[in-house]
Amino acid sequence: MSESLFVDVAFWLFGGGSVVAAWLVFRTDSMVRAAYWLLASFAGVGVVMVVLNARFLGLVLVLMMAGEMTIMAVFMVMFMMNPAGLNPMTMVHQHRQAKIAGVVAFAGLALVGVVAEFPDRPADPEGEATAELGRELLGDSMLIFETAGVTLLATMIGSIAIASKRGRFGDAEDGSAPPPLDPQGDHS
Amino acid sequence: MLLVGATLGLGAYAVAVLDGVGARVAAGGRLRLMDIAAGPLRRAALLARTSRSTTERPDLQAWALAPAIVAGMAAAAVAAVPFGPGIAVADVDDGIVLFGAAMAVVMVGVYLHGWSANSPMPLVGGYRFIALALSYEMPLALVLIAAALPAESLAVGAIVESQHDLWNVVRQPLGLPLYLVAGTGLAFWGPLNGADGPDLAGGTSAEVSGPALLAWELARRFVLVAVAVVGAAVFLGGWQGPILPGPAWMALKTLALLAVLVWAGHRLARVRLERFVVVAWAVLIPLALVDVFVSGALAL
Amino acid sequence: MGVIARLASGADVPVFPVVAAGGRLAAEALRLLPGVRVEDTPRAATVLVVVGRLTRALLHPALVVHDQLPQPRATVWMPIGVDEAGDPEGLLSAFPSVTTVGAGDTAGLRTVFADLVSGVRASDSPALPDMEPAHWRGVGPYGHGGAGMTGGVPFGRPLPARAPDPDGLELDQLPLQLGPLHPGLPPGLVLHVGLQGDVVRHAEVGANPYQSWPGDPAPGPLDTATFVDALRLPTPVADLELARARHHLRWVAQALRLHGLEALGLRVAALGGSLSPTDRCTVQAVTRRLAGSRSLAWATAGVGVTDGGLLDGIETRLETGPVRRAAGDTGDARSDDPAYQGLGFEPVVHQGADAWARLRQRLAEATQAMDLAERAGMRVRDPGPALEGPRGTIRLDAAMPSTALCELLPALLAGSEWGDAVTTVASLDLDVEEAALARSGSAPASGGRIAGTPTGSGHQNGGRPGAGAR
């Protein structure tokens, strides 16, 4: 009995924590904090997965999201004008549209969550989740995962090739900007 | 928990002592063992009594959290390693993945440490660490997978037991060197010290003083110890060995790896970032892939 | 005293050096003192050590650094040079408390530290008021001082402006002043850089903090004192060459420290500090070992390349010196020096013109200097107008080689990543104090004063006295 109590407590604690962290993503002014609140939210979901015996998936989620949220933090700092939130300027715009969109999305998802019939197939708690996952990946779902994997690899290699020093328009050291579309204009 | 704490604490002390010995040997001075043994403790005592600095508008919570994240992840990594037959804090089925996830979160900790100070030199240190960390995450993951193949399991305990006739360092010669390179980078030690180097006036630690500095130095050494512990388990046969009990062998093997890492820190110059990143992507990843293919072929 | 306090007072004294006029050698020697640990950042230090004579331009940076030391802290002054009344303007009284300790007096330093840690001595209070540099809160249309959403000066500093990048992008560029007390740069070097990430987009050398003002005492003693004196006094060739080898070894030690090989650097520094003619084989062994180091080669090859046009395009002429010889130029003032005839002297030259070539060049020159010192025996060099110093030709009434080396910096550093920039600056072997000398003949290198010297009008490095000190 205590084990299922532990599972329940963990689920509500980390599940609720994920929701709170997700809300904090949008409340904070600092871009780095926003990225890492999102990581905390994902980590909460990862813990829930671990508690539900999908340990491999939970740990892989944390592994991937740590790297990805760091890259997201780097990009947000790169693009946003006020990345640490120190400048007293408002960071949000279009309040009315955002509120309406948020309420509509929440209502839709909540409706789906409450009304839909989720399948009732309890998994074997003693099962070897990792081994079963492996068999699924290389068995029935092999086509999907191999295609996705090769596509991702091609994307990575392509982006590295595009970002490489010796670009199409010459060496980056010499300033390899493409000619502007507008003869007098800037390079945008 | 006591096991993890003791391992990390003693390990960090061992790193400091080995570092002192290494420095004294490299500098050609006399090895005064009493000084070297007491040195780290004295410095820790001094740092504990020094006040904490602050800068203008730092991210206080993240600054305080950063050493905790790094140390916590090192503890999580050590927790998955068995120190003897059946002696493990949490020998989960996915110990290797736990190690990978923990080391990925270390990247978050170091970046936060650099970001939070709101100062240019620490910021550059944090960003440099991200560039380096992303470059050797892949070789790290690949060599660990290669080591897991003969064991047919991701649990560290199973990997240790799969080495009962032949250690992985012999069976997969590419594994340990690549792992040590990645491990050196994870703790930003010696040649891969982009984050805290003297050219950045101390890098991510430039604005840190007192107990916060002590916590950061400890966290960094904890990561080094975790790298050595997992390396000893996965590549050097873990607790297996004649005559001595399991934990003693683990300790010896961990110390051996720590000595190698500390020696590398004193012997090799700090790498140029760009060059190393190119090497990591263009050389280390293909080598790691070769390692995986070969060990996979052998396992079939 | 509690257990922790007692343990702490036995620790190595963490110091942060403020290298003032004449203090460079003593500051480097601090690293060799047992029981003293020189830190890279003032936040890790307990004792601020002012080495040499403070100048007006260095006072404010030193006070800022003093306030950056955490409590408990103390300030120690190590006066250098013949002139013991070394603080004529009373600049040191700006510090809350200063203890005078002799250079190399480890016991004195440890006493100060032990008293501080055990509570016998009170910690220094802050020297500067804790105030914001400029009033900005609530000023302007957006409340962050100044005009516009992207303008303004929140916290007294401008938001980084966009600047073009060689890839055709517009990236934020941070204007930053680094120095004069930055541990990765030569002491006294002030760099105003525009930093895009960790790439130096442009760099200018700031006002020289050792620059003499009318009425200021002359700088010195320089680290090339032996050579400047040899312009006027007869000096044994062996002494000159030994001084040259010492200089190069000390430089190698600093370069190794910057590349992460601190312990090896200490070994080389100890060798350089106690160099005698019998150390010839040791110097050869060190040269062989370092010149064959693959990791050092990998870290410095291709960095800071001074191709021919750069060396000839600067205002002050760099005649000779290891920087030129590492680029393939065979010029050396010793080739025409009568004192070196018959010693079998041939200038050592390397190709490559990068930091790695300069490292090997100085190692080779150190070995060569030891050989020359042995072969020269008792030969004495007569005073003459030109002399080959360790950085280049030193002439009476001409600028010192460091002046020209400082002028190389803006072109060399533009576009290089910060770590490479530090390597490049280190590989040039600059001495900012030497560059502050208007003319090498007008001020004696060994300290002391000369009245009426035209020092205030020198405009090397575009320096305006007092400007840019932070």
Q: Is A87 on the interface with C (CB under 8 A)?
A: yes
How far C316 CA lies from chain A's nearest CA (Å)? 28
Q: Which two tokens stand for residue C112?
A: 């100060």
Is residue B63 within 8 A of residue A26, CB to CB? The reply is no
Residue C225's closest CA among C76, C359, C26, C423? C26
A162 or C430, which is more confident: C430
Cβ neighbours for A124, distance < 8 A, ≥ 6 positions apart? none
Is residue A66 within 8 A of residue A39, CB to CB? The reply is yes
Is residue A56 within 8 A of residue A105, CB to CB? The reply is no
User: SS in 3 state form for chain B?
Assistant: CHHHHHHHHHHHHHHHHHHHHHHHHHHCCCCCHHHHHHHHHHHHHHHHHCCCCCCCCCCHHHHHHHHHHHHHHHHHHHHCCCCECCECCCCCCCHHHHHHHHHHHHHHHHHHHHHHCCCHHHHHHHHHHHHHHHHHHHHHHHHHHHHHCCCCCCCHHHHHHCCCCCCHHHHCCCHHHHHHHHHHHHCCCHHHCCCCCHHHCCHHHCCCCHHHHHHHHHHHHHHHHHHHHHHHHHHCCCCCCCCCCHHHHHHHHHHHHHHHHHHHHHHCCCCCHHHHHHHHHHHHHHHHHHHHHHHHHHHC
The reported pLDDT for the residue numbered A63 is: 94
The reported pLDDT for the residue numbered B24 is: 81
* Residues of C with Cβ-Cβ distance to B273 under 8 angstroms: 417, 419
Residue type, A157: I
Residues C394-426: pLDDT tens digits? 988 888 899 999 999 999 998 899 999 999 999
Cα separation, B280 vs B287, in Å, equals 10
CB contact under 8 A, A55 and B92: yes
Cα separation, C327 vs C311, in Å, equals 9
Residues 2-31 of B with CB under 8 A from A: none
- Cα atoms in the Cβ-side hemisphere of radius 13 Å centred on B218: 25
Q: Are strands C393-395 and C386-388 parallel, antiparallel or unpaired?
A: antiparallel
Measured between CB atoms, which of A88, A175, A178 is closest to C166?
A175
Q: Respond yes or no on whether the N-terminal peptide bond of residue C180 is cis (omega within 30° of 0).
A: yes
C449 or B116, which is more confident: B116
Cα distances (Å, whole numbers) of residue B51 to C69, C294, C297: 9, 42, 41
Cα distances (Å, whole numbers) of residue C174 to A156, B59, C154: 31, 20, 14
Q: Are strands C161-164 and C99-100 parallel, antiparallel or unpaired?
A: unpaired
Enumerate chain C positions whose Cβ falls within 8 A of a Cβ in A. 142-144, 149-150, 152, 154-155, 159, 166-168, 415
Residue A66's closest CA among B182, C147, C154, B97? B97
Buried b (16+ CB within 10 A) or exposed e, C171-194: ebbbeebbbbbbbbbbbbbbbbbb
The reported pLDDT for the residue numbered C166 is: 73
∠ CA A91-A92-A96 to the nearest 5 degrees? 165
How far C12 CA lies from chain B's nearest CA (Å)? 7
CB contact under 8 A, A160 and B105: no
Low-confidence ranges of chain C (pLDDT < 70): 1, 81-86, 88, 133-134, 142-158, 167, 212-220, 438-470
Cα separation, B76 vs B156, in Å, equals 13
Secondary structure letter of residue C34 according to DSSP: T
Buried b (16+ CB within 10 A) or exposed e, B63-86: bebbbebbbbbbbbbbbbbbbbee
Helix intervals (H) in C353-462:
355-376, 401-413, 418-428, 432-435
CA torsion, points C104, C110, C112, C115, in degrees to nearest 10? -170
Contacts of range C449-458, beta carbons closer than 8 Å, 24 or more positions apart:
C449/C83, C449/C217, C449/C218, C450/C218, C453/C212, C453/C218, C455/C211, C455/C212, C455/C213, C455/C214, C455/C216, C455/C218, C456/C212, C456/C213, C456/C214, C456/C215, C456/C216, C458/C211, C458/C212
Dihedral over Cα of B200, B204, B208, B214: its sign? negative
The reported pLDDT for the residue numbered A173 is: 60
CB contact under 8 A, C420 and B49: no
The burial class, CB within 10 Å (0-12 / 13-18 / 19+), for C44 is buried
Is residue B123 within 8 A of residue B59, CB to CB? The reply is no
Cα distances (Å, whole numbers) of residue C364 to B106, C269, C357, C450: 44, 17, 10, 38
Cα separation, C169 vs C419, in Å, equals 23
Residue A176 confidence class, pLDDT cut points 50, 70, 90: low
Residue A183 confidence class, pLDDT cut points 50, 70, 90: low
CB contact under 8 A, A174 and C166: yes
Query: Do you know the residue count of chain C?
Result: 470
Residues A47-80: pLDDT tens digits? 999 888 888 899 999 999 999 999 999 999 888 8
CB contact under 8 A, C43 and B22: no
How far C261 CA lies from chain B's nearest CA (Å)? 6
* Residues of C with Cβ-Cβ distance to A175 under 8 angstroms: 166-168
ipTM: 0.91
Measured between CB atoms, which of B29, B206, B270 is closest to C299?
B270
pTM: predicted TM-score of the whole model, two decimal places: 0.89
* Residues of C with Cβ-Cβ distance to B56 under 8 angstroms: 155
CB contact under 8 A, A130 and B108: no
Cβ neighbours for C118, distance < 8 A, ≥ 6 positions apart? C1, C5, C6, C9
How far C292 CA lies from chain B's nearest CA (Å)? 12
How far B294 CA lies from chain C's nearest CA (Å)? 29
Is residue B275 within 8 A of residue B162, CB to CB? The reply is no
CB contact under 8 A, C143 and A175: no
Residue type, A23: W
Residue B147's closest CA among B134, B135, B164, B163? B163
Residue B284's closest CA among B149, B155, B135? B135
CB contact under 8 A, B111 and A30: no
Cα separation, C36 vs C111, in Å, equals 12
The reported pLDDT for the residue numbered C439 is: 54
* Residues of A with Cβ-Cβ distance to C415 under 8 angstroms: 173
Percent of chain B topping pLDDT 90: 51
∠ CA C24-C28-C29 to the nearest 5 degrees? 115
Cα separation, C210 vs C458, in Å, equals 12
φ and ψ of B112, to 5 deg: -65, -40
Cα separation, C84 vs C82, in Å, equals 6
CB contact under 8 A, A66 and B134: no
Is residue C430 within 8 A of residue C204, CB to CB? The reply is no
Secondary structure letter of residue C186 according to DSSP: -
Measured between CB atoms, which of C267, C298, C303 is closest to B28?
C267
CB count in 10 Å sphere of residue C399? 22
Q: Is A174 on the interface with C (CB under 8 A)?
A: yes
Cβ neighbours for C168, distance < 8 A, ≥ 6 positions apart? A175, A176, A177, A178, A187
CB contact under 8 A, B207 and C261: no
Cβ neighbours for B11, distance < 8 A, ≥ 6 positions apart? B221, B222, B224, B225, B228, B229, B254, B258
The reported pLDDT for the residue numbered C245 is: 95
Cα separation, C224 vs C318, in Å, equals 17
Q: At what angle do helices A55-79 and B95-116 cross, to 10 degrees?
A: 20
With a cut of 50, say whether residue B227 has pLDDT above it: yes
Residue with tokens 């004579």: C53
What is the overall mean pLDDT for chain B?
89
Measured between CB atoms, which of B22, B49, B53 is closest to C43?
B53
Q: Are strands C36-38 and C13-19 parallel, antiparallel or unpaired?
A: parallel
- Which run of H or of E encompasses C394? strand C393-395
Cα separation, B71 vs B222, in Å, equals 6
Least confident window among B28-37, B126-135, B153-162: B28-37
Percent of chain C topping pLDDT 90: 46
CB contact under 8 A, C168 and A89: no
A28 or C461, which is more confident: A28
